[in-house]
Amino acid sequence: MNTSTTDGTMYSAGIDLHKGPLQLHVVDAAGTPVCQQTITHDKRRQLLAALAPFGKDITVGVESTYNWYWVADELRRKGIPCVLGHARDVHAQRQGKHKSDGKDAANMSQMVRMGTFPAAYACLPEWRATRDLLRKRLRLVEERTQHMQHGGCVADQYLLGEGPMAAAGYAGTVIADVDKAVDTDLKAQEMLTTLIDSLDKWILERAKISDKPLYELLTGTRGIGPVLALTLMYETADITRFPRAQQFASYSRTANPEYSSAGKRLGPGDRKRGNPYLCRALHMLAVQSIKLYPEVKEFHRSVVKRKGRRTARRILAHKWALAVYYLWKRREAFDITKFLGTAYAPRAQSSH
């Protein structure tokens, strides 16, 4: 877990951020509270006014809730150090039996002061809006897939592939309702396809490609289109954040965590820790690779027989996480032989 420091500032602050009231708590270097305030409206002006007496000699920790953008941007413009905190790890360090917004803000201010505030990666301001559009596209693609799968379920429920429902003796009212369900799924798919195509065009015209050689390496890999390549780049941002490939796999939620004690496996670990959007992108890539690579299709089939479809898909997504990591790190084109073998591994250090 990465932690933050106060960068030598005299004061430390914690902000418990919600859609409604904002709770601010400030302590000095000794941990003594010097400011506690609840801000309910005109949040930008009131927050800056509350922090003004401390100048730039304060480090502010804010939990990474969905609406942290404006706080980080306002503090950055004023030159006030701001640290984004990992929400799950912040709550894991909560003290005491009782919880309140004031207590949460106070705990965060103390974490910032002591250097134990669990720092999360803060996306660059100029990347955020495009990244959010890419995330919206992922959700729309998943929704379209759900409608496609539901249409197949309806067909299986009534064996539509074997003939009309009337011939099977179903009543007219039942047939009408089933037709309406199928028609609704088809129209939803058409509407979502139009939205996805529109988003694709918008994103490709406006996205900033900071690393052109990497983008070309990614798009040169079968199964990785321009939009998926951008999704991988925007969600990862900087591959040097991950010294090891397994750290990247863990961040992308494709690793297989487990809890164990005294040599006994107690169950699965925390599979929700990491980036869910990067996980979705890699699973989409896994599905595409089954269709595009005969070797991957055969590998997937063999794993399904041994471990089941769900585990096989996760193993394939994990392999793609390692492949993307080393493609990015080593600047090497994708190699299907390495992908299916064990060659995507840390290089041995030469001895001198």
How far apart are alpha carbons 15 and 167 in whole angstroms? 66
Label residue 352 by pLDDT band (50, 70, 90): very low
To the nearest whole number, what is the mean pLDDT of the chain? 89
- Which pLDDT does position 97 carry in this prediction? 75
Distances (CA, A) of 76 to 25, 60, 254: 19, 11, 34
- Mean of the pLDDT values across residues 136-161? 93
183: pLDDT confidence band, cut at 50, 70 and 90?
A: very high
If you search the block for the tokens 């003796």, which residue do you land on? 169
pLDDT in tens, 301-339: 999 999 999 999 999 999 999 999 999 999 999 999 889
Where do the domains of the chain lie? 11-114, 127-208, 226-258+270-340
Q: The pTM is what? A: 0.86
Summarize pLDDT for 58-103 with one digit per residue, the tens.
Answer: 999 998 888 999 999 999 999 999 999 988 888 888 777 778 888 9
pLDDT tens per residue, range 234-281:
999 999 999 999 999 999 999 887 767 767 776 666 677 889 999 999
Residue type for position 339: F
The fold adopted by the segment(s) 11-114 is Nucleotidyltransferase; domain 5 (3.30.420)
CA pair distance 117, 127, nearest whole angstrom: 25
